[in-house]
Amino acid sequence: MKRLLITTLIIGVAVAFGVGALHASKTTAGLEAVGAQLVCDYSSATRIGSEKWQYVFVLLIALGVAWLSLSKVPRWRSRLLVGLFFVELFVLSWVCSLYRIFFQPIPSVLALIFALAIAEGWSAFLWRNRSHLVRTFFADRLSNKEFRSLSDGTTAFEAEPKAYDVSVVVCDLGNKIAFPEDPAPAAFAEATSKFIRETAACLTKEGAYLHAADGEGVVAFFGFPIPSAEHAQNAVRVVLDLMKTFRESGKPNEEISGNIRAGVSSGVIIAGALKDSEHPLLFASGEPIELARRFCALNHFYGSSALIDTPTFDRVSETVVARPIDFVGGLNSHDRLEIYEPLWLAAEAKPEHIARRDSFWSAVVLYREKRWAEAYNEFQKARGPEEEEDPPLQFYLRRLEPVVLQLTGAPFEST
């Protein structure tokens, strides 16, 4: 709004000054004489409109037309209003002539035409510049639907840096660390390329902005550049769908297909165009990006497939079944963040799934209270079918086994 007002004032004042100079210097005297003859009889007028009021009308008209052309009013509607205003100026001059008052319409008409032309030209320039920025920043990084929405102006995008409330998703290969030991770099490159293509395509299709897709993983934002109140729900839902898709498409000789890890963090980032850059660049920075990368990496430690932070969990707790995993340090040394593992969509979870989640949750609480034996029994209740692996559960059982063995003093079978 501030930029619109400033641009309107600049155009309005410049047009008013230019038209006023033309009128005062008699440059447009011939045109004014022709215009006057069309609507009124100057010789029969007993009063003439004040020159001061003429300049006031010119300024007001220039400001009004500039604001109307630059605002978000649909172009066809703004042009229609300007056209009606153009006619009304001559009608006003004619009505004044009926009362033998001479009002010269040409300066006001020139102000209207010049203000419209300059404002339309400025809008066209901004539109070309905006279209170029949209193509530069978002081509191949958004779904076709979102990209068209930005390109045709349906959704506004300001290049100036501003805060966005988003959910950041970071996906990477689960067995990435083991790959460099493979003597065939081509196999690693091929598997990584496949992972990047499939993951990036899925995320953008579901409405995410693809921030990065390279050997360090795939980073995507939900809620940017088009704001969404449900960005956290969309992010976690897509991550769960990705896990399911990769798991179901896996083959015995393709370890990569079912081995994907993800981290999700929700919060505020700062994003916008870099200034004073030879080539337009879009930068994005914020704690959620760093945390999502960290959560993605922590999956390797806990054996989980996906981890989310507390802000994300709070937003999706009614639509996603998740369980607490641990407290981890934040970006600052004094921060303590609780992380959760999303398991199923609430609509797809079975009663036995909820019961196992609840047992795991109770076991984690008991574990934190150092009630080792009770925690161990609850973790046992959280077990699934024998053929179903649960690395985070095994992570806690491995921690508890020595403690429980020491407490009971009895032989213990490793699980």
pLDDT digits (tens, 9 = 90+) for 47-86: 665 667 777 888 888 888 888 777 766 666 777 877 887 8
Query: For the chain, how many structural domains are there in total?
Result: 3
Confidence of residue 116 (pLDDT cuts 50, 70, 90): confident
Q: What is the pLDDT at residue 204? A: 93
Residues 327 and 220 in one domain: yes
Q: What is the pLDDT at residue 361? A: 96
- Which range marks the domain in which residue 380 is found? 351-415
Residues 306 and 396 in one domain: no
pLDDT reading at 257 higher than 60 = no
Q: CA dihedral defined by 313, 318, 322, 325, rounded to 10 degrees?
A: 40
Cα 346 from Cα 321, distance rounded (Å): 5
CA-nearest of 1, 160, 122, 163 to 72 is 1
pTM over 0.85: no
CB atoms within 10 A of CB 368: 12
Q: What is the pLDDT at residue 155? A: 77
pLDDT reading at 233 higher than 90 = yes
On whether residue 149 sits in a domain, the answer given is no
List for the chain the helix, strand, coil content (%; round to 5). Answer: 55, 15, 25
Q: Which two tokens stand for residue 172?
A: 């990477």
Residues 336 and 405 in one domain: no
Residues 60 and 163 in one domain: no
Domain end call among 137, 164, 193? 137
183 vs 8, higher pLDDT: 8
Q: pLDDT for 193-208, tens place per residue? A: 888 998 999 999 999 9
Residues 299 and 343 in one domain: yes
Q: What is the pLDDT at residue 37? A: 66
On whether residue 266 sits in a domain, the answer given is yes
Q: Which two tokens stand for residue 364?
A: 């984690």
On whether residue 123 sits in a domain, the answer given is yes
Residues 335 and 355 in one domain: no
Q: pLDDT for 211-223, tens place per residue? A: 999 888 899 999 9
Cα 255 from Cα 149, distance rounded (Å): 39
